[in-house]
Amino acid sequence: MHDLVVIGGGGAGLTSALTAKKLNRDANILVISKDDLSYSPCSLPFVLSGEILSFDIIGHDLKGICEGSHINCVIDEAVEINLGEKKVSTRREGDFPFKSLVIATGGRARKLDVDGSNLKGIYTLQDIEDGKRILEKAIESEKVVVVGGGAVGVETAAALRKRGLDVSIVEKCDHLFGHCFDKSYSDIINKTLEDDGITVLNGKSTDGFNGRRWVDSVNVGGEDIPADFVVVGIGLIPNGELAEKAGIKTFKGAVQVDGWMQTSVDGVYAAGDCVFTRSLVTGQPTFSQLGTSAVRQGKIAGSNAAGCYVAMEGVLNSMVLKLFDMEIGRTGLTESDARDMDIPFISGKIKTTTKPQYFPGAEDVYIKLVFKKINRQIIGAQIVGGGEGVADKIDLCAYAIQNHSTIEDLMKLKYCYTPPLAPINNAIVDAAENAYRKMARLEEVRRRKF
């Protein structure tokens, strides 16, 4: 009998096992994983670009990590969870009884169901083996079409462009990062990609793939775009089937959890890409298939599975990417999100520079802060620009959201300054002041009407 069995050795699963072991050194913990390597999928595009020299660098032996922490590890596939007998059955190694269970089965790449989707040369980028296949083909190719304008698609496109390929991105939405950035900020990203030689086709559907055995073009809105191969990056499907078959509640294929990452069954927890969590801003259920969310959820699930009582406060889906020389980041809600949810909002926007304009290396940066009108609390932020420092600014905004900071709070932010690193006027403060002036004008209009 194991005190804790963890299904999945990815970011959420391994983190939950390591966390539980730290909290209870005497606990008998087992990790069951199909993959014998531990690595971050977020690193895969950077191997494709050549910035990381080899896939061997990013992968680490999962068994070795577990053994170093006195955790048992079985490389096998879990095929059944028997809640009545409290055991997990695997394909080859048999049954493993448990007291507590963490389900961290991750997700799988979503595929397109269109004509020609079974042709060879159509890839997804989910794991190291996918990356190896794409890199092998990229080395001998000239043209690639990337389907999907989210993080995976755009990062992959940028990576393959750095390899010297002719790259086209096809995005069904009318702008890239449709659920992450408002269109005006997405347009800035769009221009940067095009300036670096990537063709971006927004508002276009992928209607099919052409070729005999191997794909040779992609039908996009009635036009055939030549391609030596295709990468599809249109999101993840949560792997909730194992839990669902066991009688654990799921929603849209994902495992439902509460604020303690516990499922509908006592003593059974879930974390990572397979779960349906909730937004910290709205309290509504949402997906958060990000590495940071997986690790945080893994810590909560592992802690509670080991007998602690730790709450998962919600997610903000904070994200940061580097595309060529541009950094982009976001957290919380966009204007579009607020509009869709009927949340009255006001935005503070500023265009500034990463350093004083006179200092070498100064780059333009665009910042938008989204506030609730009713209480002036920040609920979202978007940052797009050159240079560095976007990640730190997004983290600051996320912290402000967590602490219900208002326009006035951010206007009072105490900050540092030196010409090589930052301008005398802080961009977050400037954006908050812009929102304050807009609110003042609205209040004046209301007074005049009264």
Domain membership of residue 41 (yes or no) is: no
What's the confidence (pLDDT) of residue 56?
94
Token pair of 222 as six digits: 């009635």
Q: What is the pLDDT of residues 361-403, one digit of tens each?
A: 999 999 999 999 999 999 999 999 988 899 999 999 999 999 9
Tell me how far apart the alpha carbons of residues 85 and 5 are, in angstroms, rounded to a whole number. 14
Task: Tell me the HSE value of 12 on the side-chain side, using a 13 A CA sphere.
Answer: 25
Q: Which of 42, 66, 73, 180 is labelled catalytic?
A: 42
Structure tokens at 154: 């755009």
Tell me: the pLDDT tens digits for 312-345? 999 999 999 999 999 999 999 999 999 999 999 9
Asked whether 78 and 32 are in contact (CB, 8 A), the reply is: yes
Q: Answer with the one of 232, 263, 289 that is the final residue of a domain.
A: 232
| 324 and 433 co-located in one domain | yes
Residues 280 and 186 in one domain: no
**What are the distances in angstroms from CA 327 to CA 125, 155, 334?**
22, 12, 18
Tell whether 90 and 117 lie within a shared domain.
Answer: no
Whole-number Cα distances in Å, 274 to 105, 130, 262, 294: 6, 20, 13, 9
210 and 264 both lie in a single domain: no
Mean pLDDT of the chain: 96
Q: Are residues 60 and 161 in the same domain?
A: no
Contacts of 97 (CB under 8 A, 6+ apart): 1, 2, 85, 86, 87
* 314 is a domain residue: no
Q: Catalogue the E-assigned strands of 64-186.
A: 72-75, 78-82, 87-90, 95-103, 107-109, 122-123, 143-147, 166-171
Q: How many other C-beta atoms can be found within 10 angstroms of the C-beta atom of residue 328?
A: 27
Beta-strand relationship, 378-386 and 364-372: antiparallel
Domain end point (choices 278, 305, 332): 305
Compute the distance between CA of residue 74 and CA of residue 35 in angstroms, rounded to an integer: 10
Active site residue 42: yes
Q: Is residue 14 part of a domain?
A: yes
Residue 450 falls inside a structural domain: no
Question: What is the spatial distance between Cα 378 and Cα 408, in angstroms, rounded to a whole number?
Answer: 10
Q: Are 128 and 54 in contact (CB under 8 A)?
A: no
Average pLDDT over residues 63-68: 96
Torsional sign, CA 141, 143, 144, 149: positive
Whether residue 179 sits in one domain with residue 271: no
Q: The domain that contains 77 carries what CATH number?
A: 3.50.50.60
Question: What integer pLDDT is reported at residue 443 of this predicted model?
Answer: 84
Q: Same structural domain for residues 360 and 425?
A: yes
Domain that holds residue 296: 2-35+55-108+236-305
Question: Does some domain include residue 50?
Answer: no
Q: By three-state DSSP, how is residue 128 classified?
A: helix
In a domain, 45, yes or no: no
pLDDT digits (tens, 9 = 90+) for 169-201: 999 999 999 989 999 999 999 999 999 999 999
Length of the chain: 450
Q: Is the pLDDT of residue 449 over 80?
A: no
Query: Each residue of 7-19: pLDDT tens digit?
Result: 999 999 999 999 9
Count of CB atoms situated within 10 Å of the CB of 338: 23
Tell whether 148 and 198 lie within a shared domain: yes
Sequence-separated (6 or more) residues with CB below 8 Å from residue 216: 210, 226, 227, 228
Strand partners, 415: none
- What pLDDT is stored for residue 323 in this prediction? 96
Q: What pLDDT was estimated at residue 444?
A: 85
The number of domains in the chain is 3
Mean pLDDT calculated for residue range 132-144: 97
pLDDT over 90 at 448, yes or no: no
Q: Which of 304, 284, 243 is nearest to 104 (CA)?
A: 243
Q: pLDDT digits over 288-317, tens only? A: 999 999 999 999 999 999 999 999 999 999
